[in-house]
Each structure stands twice: as structure tokens, then as C-alpha cells.
Amino acid sequence: MSALLLQMMNGLSYGMLLFIITCGITIVFGILGVLNLAHGSLYVLGSYVGYSLIIKAGLPFWVALMAVPLLIAIIGLVLEVVILRPTYKLGHLSQVLLTFGLAYIFHDVFSMMWGKNILVVNPPDVLNMSVEIAGNAIPAYRLALIVIGIVIAIFLWYTQEKTKWGAVIRAGLSDKEMVGGLGVNIHFVFTCVFFLGSLMAGLGGVLGSPVLGVYPGMEFQILILSLVVLVVGGLGSVTGTFIASLLVGFVETFSRFFLPELSLIITFALMALVLVIRPQGLTGRRVV
Amino acid sequence: MKKGPIKGTLLFLLMVLVPFFLSIYYVNILSEILILGVFAVSLNILVGQTGMVSLGHAAFFGAGAYATGLAAIKFSTNIFVTLGIGLLFAFLLALIIGLLSTKAHGFYFLMLTLACSQIFYSLVYQWTTVTGGSNGLSGIAPLDVFGDIRLSNQVFVYYFILVVMAILLFLLSRFLHSPLGSVFIGIKENEERMKSIGYNTALYKNISFLISGTMGGLAGGLYVIFNGFISPTDVYWTASGSVLIMVLIGGVGTLWGPVIGAAFIVILETIVSSYTENWMMIIGTAFILFVIFAPNGIVGIFNRAKRIVVKQQKIEHKEPNIIPIKQQTKMDG
């Protein structure tokens, strides 16, 4: 029973982390129609820059948590303006391939700047302890992750469902031309959404590094996990991504615990199953 | 069209002569180009011909490679038996994945093929007793062709691969102009219309998937014969991504494009990696430039250059007016 509770907390915190990482790629895909295959790279960049700030420069974790996402968001902004914006006329598939090329470039930039070792960041001192719940010692950092994930989810849900900005984003999901026709500068919306998506990737990068570490080639693993969540949850919906992240987090944690030899297969089988039964995802509408 | 076979035969003869002039190092590079060329050509049937962009083609490469390798270790030393087992295995895998994924369109098809190939990757990675897990499958001895002839030498392997490639390209050039090939192109251009004409597009998409997957398995089998080793990294989805890059850089939907793309990537990789470790960056940059400036790939650049030359010749003869320039700008933008 106690092991089960421990795994539950692990699954929950892992799912929350997945949510923070994935909601960026989902929103960007939903609005821009571009599957950003460099999203995993932005996440890993966040992790690496966070590592440099915290371990090399000796700054507190909280400073990195504020500064890194902004930096990643600005990099994302530059990428959007310089590379994606001039290429909207080429079609979505070309743009997806562009971001894949970007992921290749990032891969080598990482190994040039940060080497090929696994780097780990310690959680902040305040959270570097364990909390006792029902006789189990649970790392405080994981609890903090759960809280942060819930706060971000509520914030994003509120933004998307209750504010004027969210209304524009939701409208953009269903019909971009119409939104443009109604006088909204849709390209500006694209840029903002890409900025937000990169911000979330950077945030996930800093938050994830104490749990997952950071190593070369990680961006492709993160990317593939994000794609699983994206497909399971459906496009552009915060609620769907949230549910899917938790589901994938639980499935992966528990399959690793009970059936370690099948753990990799089960996650992808879940994705294939959802695609065959409900191609639009658990909560999504059919876009494409 | 008549020039095609002659050019092809000349190129084949040239390739036959290569081992007499170049060192074994270059022959090995050529073998690698040919194998990846087969792989890229197989993906092109799906992407270029039928218009279904797959990001899971490495699964078939892996299926063919692992099945051929295991058959070579356990059952037989005859190359046709082992390659046949590899092909059969790739065919069965394509049958399963095809039935699952060809129902979906566009992005969802891409994701389903990706998911299926990742399931296959996980199987290979975690079924350590059979596949050797992350250590890969090694110890594959040279195979026999007929009777006493054994592919004990890299040059023999090169010739074998060359013959396979030549037969394949010949069959494909026939296939492109066959009724079935036209149906595939029809599905790419407008699936709804093909449906309303009365074609069972789901069936044809499955056939395309089967042909493509089985040929991918052939590439995998050749690779394991050439290399004597296969590891899970060759089945990971980045391998599917890089073969997609080859097809797109070479030229989607053309006969020679994928082979040229494979050659381009392999040569670039070989040259760049002798100077710096960071060849992925160079390939990524080249790829981005191609996507932006030459969406039709290397073959597209050739064709455009050819057309411009032809046009200029015509201009000299006829009217040196605004019209051709207009057309030219249209092609550029």
C-alpha cells in the first residue's frame, strides 16, 4: 500500500511536469498549425541554461526559475519571427520539417556548449527534504511540482476560457481566417502564442532538471513524450492536455513499477489505442 | 523518356567499374549510399507517390535487418533465404501497421506510424534475449549467394547491393507508369475524387504501405549483410526522420531523387565528420535551406536549371520579351 502511494505521488508529479512541458507544444500546434519539433530542444535548452545559472554562476534556483523561461521565450520569439514567419506560405508540412532541422542544429549546439555528460541540478534548499505523508517519505520537491503544475493549469485554463485573450485563441483554433477577418492581427497572435509556448518549455526545463536531469539526445525523448500527450489529449485544449499528461504520467510510472520490461511499449500502445479509437484525442475536436 | 534506360545502363556500368579504381573506403561509402538509397526510395513510394508522410519507416528497416540477421545466425547461410525471411517479416509488420494507420490522414497518419515504430523500437530494445537489447545484434557471418560463392569481401557485397538496386530502380521506373502507380498518384493529388471515381482508396493505400514497408525491410536486410551489425539506434524514430530528410532533400516523388538525397547526406556526413563532430548541425542547416529555397529538392533544382537553359535558348530564337521573365519570377516565388 505504501509503495503504491509513493508511486501515485511519483506519477502525479511526473504528470504535472509533463503538463508544463507539453501545454506549449499543444497550444502552438493548435493555433499555428505547426507541429514544433524543436519544442523538446527548447525544453533542453532551458534545462542547460538553468544548470549554468544555478551550478556554474551560483545563482539561487528561484532566480533561474524567473530568468530562464524569459530567455527561452525570447529565443522562441526570434525563431518565430526569423524562421517561421517568412515561411507561412510554404505550408505546414515544410514548417514542421524546418523545426526538425532546427532540432538537429540545437542538438550540436548543446554538445558544443555543455558537453556530453549527464548534468543534474539540485532542488532548492528549502525543498531539499522529504515530507512524511501516511508513513511515507515523499520528496518535498515533487510535492512542490504538483502544486506548481496545478497553479499553472488553473492559470492557463482561466486565461483560455475566461479572458478576452483566451477568446481570441479559442477562435483562432477553430477558424484562423475568420479571426483575421474580424480585425485581429492573427500574425501577432501567432507570435504571442509561440512566445508563450517557448516560455512554458523553458519553465519545464528548469523545473524538470532536478527530477529528470539533462543529457544529450534528451530533446528527442521529451519531444516524443510531448507528442504522445498531444495525441492522447487532443489539440489546443488545456483540459485535454492536463488529463492526458496525468494519464501518461501514471501509465508510465506504474508500468515501470509493475512491468518494467514492457514499460516503453505500454505508453506508445496507449497512444496507438487512442489514435485508433478516438483520432481527435480524448477531448479534442478534429483539426487538420 | 527513351534516354532514361540508356543513361541508367551507363551509370550501372560506371558503378560496376568503380571498385577497380577506388579504394575499399570509397566502395564502402558507395555501398552505404546504395543501401540508404533503397531505404529512401521505399519511403518515397509512400511520401512522394501516395502522399502519405510517414515518420515511422525505420521500423521496417529494423524488422528486415533484425529478421535477416537472426535468420543468418540461426537458420541459414544462404543470402536469398535470409533476405527472404527479412522481407517476409517486414511485410507482416507493414500489414499490421498499415491496417492500423492508413485509416488516418495527414498529421494523424504521421503520429500513428510514429507510435507503431516506437512500439517496435521498444520491443527490440527490451527483448534482450533475442535482439541483444541495447548492445545490438552482432556476429553475422558472410552469406552465400550460389553454391560456393560467398560474400566474404566488401567488394562482393557492393556488387550484390548494386545489382539489387539496379533491379529495384528498373522495376520502379516501370511501376511509376503502370496503372497502379497512377492510382497512387491520384490518391496523392485528390483522394476524394479517386473515391468518387470508384477506387477503393483504403485498399490502395494499404498496398502502397505494404510495398513501401517491404522494400524498407529489404534495405534493412542489405544493411545487416553489409555491416554485420544492427543496433536499436537504427530503429529509433530519429532514423525515420533522417530518411525523410533524404527523400525531401533529393526530391519528393521522383525516381532518382531519394537516391541522390541519400548520396548527398552520406557524402556530406563523411566529409563533415572528418573535420568536426558536429555534422548534425551542418545537415540541419542544409535541410532548412533546402526546405526554404528548394522545396523540390536537388532534382527540382536540376529541372529548374534545365528549364531556364532551354527557355533561354528559345528566347534567342523567338521573342526576347517580358513573358518568359514573368514566368521565371513565378517559379522563383
Per-residue pLDDT of chain B (333 residues; tens, 9 = 90+): 456 678 778 888 888 888 888 888 888 899 999 999 999 999 999 988 888 888 889 999 999 999 999 988 888 778 888 899 999 999 999 999 998 888 777 777 887 888 888 888 888 888 888 888 778 888 787 777 776 677 778 888 888 899 999 999 889 888 888 888 888 888 888 888 888 988 888 899 999 999 999 999 999 999 998 888 888 888 888 888 889 888 888 888 888 889 999 999 898 888 888 887 777 888 888 888 888 888 788 888 888 888 888 877 765 555 444 433 333 333 333
Q: Does A231 touch chain B if contact means CB atoms closer than 8 Å? A: yes
* B107 touches A: beta carbon within 8 Å: yes
Contact criterion met (CB < 8 Å) for B111 and A288:
no
DSSP secondary structure, B174-192, as one string: HHHTSHHHHHHHHHHH-HH
B118–A268 C-beta distance less than 8 A: yes
Report d(CA B154, CA B31) in Å as an integer.
9
Listed in order, strand segments (DSSP E) in chain B are none
Residue of B nearest to A287 (CA): B107
Alpha helices in chain A (DSSP H): 2-32, 39-51, 61-79, 92-114, 140-162, 164-174, 176-181, 186-212, 218-233, 238-258, 263-277
A47 in Cβ contact with A206 (< 8 Å): yes
**pLDDT tier for residue A28 given thresholds of 50, 70 and 90:** confident
Phi first, then psi: give them for residue A131, nearest 5 degrees.
Answer: -110, 140
Q: Which one of B53, B107, B116 has the shortest CB-CB distance to A288? A: B107
Read off the pLDDT of residues B289-302 as tens digits, 9 standing for 90 and up: 888 888 788 888 88
pLDDT of residue B319: 46
Share of residues in chain A with pLDDT > 70 (%): 96
Distance from CA of B96 to the nearest CA of A (A): 12
Give the integer Cα–Cα distance in Å for B296 and A231. 30
Please, are residues A268 and B123 in contact by the beta-carbon 8 Å criterion?
A: no
CA-based nearest distance B268→chain A, Å: 15
What confidence tens digit (pLDDT) does each residue in A204-225 have? 999 988 888 888 888 888 888 8
d(CA B148, CA A44): 54
Confidence of residue A165 (pLDDT cuts 50, 70, 90): confident
Q: Residue B141: name the closest of B90, B215, B82 by CA.
A: B82
* Residues of chain A neighbouring B121 (CB-CB closer than 8 A): 264
d(CA A114, CA A41): 14
Nearest by CB to residue B295, choosing from A90, A105, A271, is A90
Are A265 and B237 a contacting pair at CB < 8 A?
Answer: no
Cell numbers for B144, please give them: 552465400
Residue B292 CA neighbour count, 13 Å, CB half? 15
> Is A102 in contact with B278 (Cβ distance < 8 A)?
no
At residue B314, the pLDDT reads 65
- What stretch(es) of chain B map to CATH 1.10.3470? 3-295
pLDDT band of residue A281 (cuts 50, 70, 90) is confident
Q: Which domains does chain A have, with CATH numbers?
A: 2-277 (1.10.3470)
Q: Searching chain A, which residue's CA lies closest to the CA of residue B112?
A: A272
If we measure between CA atoms, which residue out of B46, B34, B42, B62 comes closest to residue B220? Answer: B62
Burial class (CB in 10 A: 0-12, 13-18, 19+), B306: exposed
Chain B interface, mutation test: which of A83, A100, A255, A274, most B Cβ atoms within 10 Å? Answer: A100
Cell numbers found for residue A58: 551560483
Q: Which residues of A touch B122 (CB under 8 A)?
A: 264-265, 268
Q: Which residue of A has its CA nearest to B238?
A: A220
Q: Is B320 on the interface with A (CB under 8 A)?
A: no
Q: Note whether B114 contacts A224, CB cutoff 8 Å.
A: yes
Does the CB of A227 have a partner CB in chain B at under 8 Å?
A: yes
pLDDT digits (tens, 9 = 90+) for A73-87: 999 999 888 888 877
Question: Does A90 lie at the interface with B, CB-CB under 8 angstroms?
Answer: yes
- The predicted pLDDT at position A236 comes to 64
- Residue A180 pLDDT grade (very low, low, confident, very high; cuts 50, 70, 90): confident
How many CB contacts within 8 angstroms connect chain A with chain B?
Answer: 105
Contact B284 A231 (CB under 8 A): no
Decide if domain B3-295 falls under CATH 1.10.3470.
yes
What residues in B contact A107, CB-CB < 8 Å? 280-281, 284
Q: How large is the average pLDDT for residues A188-204?
A: 90
Query: At a CB cut-off of 8 Å and minimum separation 6, what does B28 contact?
Result: B154, B158
Answer yes or no: are the C-beta atoms of B50 and B188 closer than 8 Å: yes
- B233 touching A (Cβ < 8 Å): no
- pLDDT of A275 higher than 80: no
